[in-house]
Amino acid sequence: MRCSYSVCVPAPSRLRADACPGVVATHDAADGALARIRLPGGALTGAQAHVLAGCADDLGDGAIHLTSRANLQLRAVHDTGELIGRLADAGLLPAPTHERVRNILGSPLSGLDGLADIRPLVGALDEAVCARPELARLPGRFLFALDDGRGDVAGEGPDVCWQALGPATGALLLDGADTGLRVPARNVVAALAEAAAAFERVRGSAWRVREIDDAPLIAAVRHLAEPTEPTEPTKPKGLPRTGPPPVGPFCGDAGVVAAPLLGELGAAVLRRLAGLVERLVVTPWRTLVLPGVRPGALSGTGLVTDPADPSPGISACAGRPGCARSLADVRADARETMTALPAGVHAHFAGCERRCGRPRGAHLDVLAEDAGYRVEGTWVPADELADALKGRQ
Ligand code: SF4
Amino acid (one-letter) located at 316: A
| Domain limits for position 348 | 311-389
Q: Hey, how many other C-beta atoms are within 10 angstroms of the C-beta on 16?
A: 5
**Residues near ligand 1 (Cβ within 6 A):** 317-319, 323, 325-326, 350-352, 354-356
Q: Which ligand 1 atom minimizes the distance to the CA of 354? A: 1
For residue 383, being part of any structural domain is answered with: yes
Res. 8: pLDDT tops 50 = no
* Interval 85-136: pLDDT, tens: 999 999 999 999 999 999 999 999 999 876 789 999 999 999 999 999 999 9
For 146: left if phi > 0, alpha if psi spans -120 to 50, otherwise beta; the answer is beta
Res. 231: pLDDT tops 80 = no
* Interval 219-228: pLDDT, tens: 999 999 998 6
pLDDT category, 360, cuts 50, 70, 90?
Answer: confident
Q: Hey, how many other C-beta atoms are within 10 angstroms of the C-beta on 386?
A: 16
Average pLDDT of the residues in 326-344: 91
The pLDDT, as a whole number, for residue 6 is 34
Q: Hey, how many other C-beta atoms are within 10 angstroms of the C-beta on 206?
A: 20
The pLDDT, as a whole number, for residue 169 is 93
For residue 324, being part of any structural domain is answered with: yes
Cα(355) to centroid of ligand 1, in Å?
6
Q: What are residue 282's DSSP bridge partners?
A: 288
Res. 2: pLDDT tops 50 = no
For residue 343, being part of any structural domain is answered with: yes
Cα(283) to centroid of ligand 1, in Å?
22
Q: Hey, how many other C-beta atoms are within 10 angstroms of the C-beta on 51?
A: 19
* Interval 141-198: pLDDT, tens: 999 999 999 999 999 999 999 999 988 999 999 999 999 999 999 999 999 999 999 9
The pLDDT, as a whole number, for residue 114 is 64
For residue 385, being part of any structural domain is answered with: yes
| Number of domains observed in the structure of the chain | 1
Cα(253) to centroid of ligand 1, in Å?
39
For residue 355, being part of any structural domain is answered with: yes
Let me know how many helices (H) and strands (E) the chain has, helices first.
8, 20
For residue 56, being part of any structural domain is answered with: no
CATH number of the domain residue 371 falls in: 3.30.413.10
Average pLDDT of the residues in 323-328: 95
For residue 174, being part of any structural domain is answered with: no
Strands 144-147 and 104-106: parallel
For residue 326, being part of any structural domain is answered with: yes
- Measure the CA–CA gap between 29 and 318, rounded to whole angstroms: 10
Cα(357) to centroid of ligand 1, in Å?
9
More confident residue, 78 or 342: 78
